[in-house]
Amino acid sequence: MDYRRLGKSGLRVSEFSFGAWVTFAKQVGEDAAASIMATAYDNGINFFDNAEGYEQGNAEIVMGEALKKLNWSRDTYMVSSKVFWGGSKPTQKGLSAKHVTDGAHQALKRLQVDYLDLYFCHRPDIDTPIEETVRAMHNLIVQGKVIYWGTSEWNAQQLTEAHLVARREHLTPPTMEQPEYNMFRRENVEKEYLPLYEMGLGTTIWSPLASGFLTGKYNDGIPADSRVNLPGYEWLKRNLESEAGKAKIEKVKKLAVLARDMSLPVHHLALLWCNANPNVSTVILGASKKSQLEDNLKALDHKSKLTPDVMARIDEILGNKPEAPRALARE
């Protein structure tokens, strides 16, 4: 396991990390969570990602009980939460100073920790001034309840505004963005955020396997035990069965041939491709079983196989490499 700086901060985060989305409190209980997290930790993972919106806070409760059971030294790992979807009441949603503050306190209780290492705005809130949100995050940092704050699925304009507000008001700017990034979702990380990396932005990317597309398990239909069949994931089934979804599956089949020639499973190729981007601070893995996590971690043994020729072949198969901004394009 290698460790990378989170943007220009001094924090060093494991190149693979572990997240609770989809699995904790839905497919995974406290004992299994502790077992999976122990495997992650023993293999060098030091960042564990969560959110108030994951199973209405229950994913954080499961992770908190696992952390209590594992009893790791608090200075050896990082834990995060995200704020936006806290409940149905008007004061339980969005990024108002009240909800940002309440959400942090509730996450601390559920996770059973004294502070959050990373705290994300789970989505942008068009109804709350960015200055209000930036100030609320800054106050939590001053109080010692949060160490670093960031965003998830914000666009470059919103992130730039947050940085400008922080600079003008002498507040703490966001350190990281958590975007979806995978072979089928590239525009934000590879093009839109380019100017922000110079401002110190790190990325903790999610869905590196494109909600399972890039595992190859949908190449011959939908398995009975797939997350697609879970309540609340009907949207994923619709995506798979759409014309765009079918086109993605055809590309995955071609990627699988390339991966086989490299003596790799296609999902290892997809994970290593994300990890190869120098602007990716960490790739968040998900797993409902310890064996799944162990398998994904084995991808790191083959980083050297992603040569420039292989990366070029991947781009040829995908056909979706973002064009460089005009100011950066070579003549």
- 8 Å CB contact between 208 and 274: yes
From the candidates 3, 41, 54, 148, which is the catalytic residue? 54
Query: Token digits for 55?
Result: 């199973």
Q: Are strands 47-49 and 78-83 parallel, antiparallel or unpaired?
A: parallel
How far is the C-alpha of 75 from the C-alpha of 85, rounded, in Å?
Answer: 29
- 8 Å CB contact between 248 and 217: no
- 8 Å CB contact between 43 and 31: no
Identity at 224, one-letter amino acid code: A
Secondary structure of residue 188 in the 3-state scheme: helix
Residue 77 annotated among the catalytic residues of the structure: no
How far is the C-alpha of 290 from the C-alpha of 25, rounded, in Å?
Answer: 16
| Residue environment code for 271-303, b if the CB has 16+ CB neighbours within 10 A, otherwise e | bbbbbeeebbbbbbbbbbeeebbeebbebbeee
Secondary structure of residue 194 in the 3-state scheme: helix
- 8 Å CB contact between 131 and 163: no
Dump the DSSP string for 251-265: HHHHHHHHHHHTT--
Dump the DSSP string for 35-91: HHHHHHHHTT--EEE--TTGGGGHHHHHHHHHHHHH---GGG-EEEEEESB--SSGG
Which residues are CB-neighbours of 251 under 8 A, at least 6 positions away?
A: 317, 318
CB atoms within 10 A of CB 234: 11
CB atoms within 10 A of CB 236: 21
Helix (H) or strand (E) holding 283: strand 282-285
Give the active site residues.
54
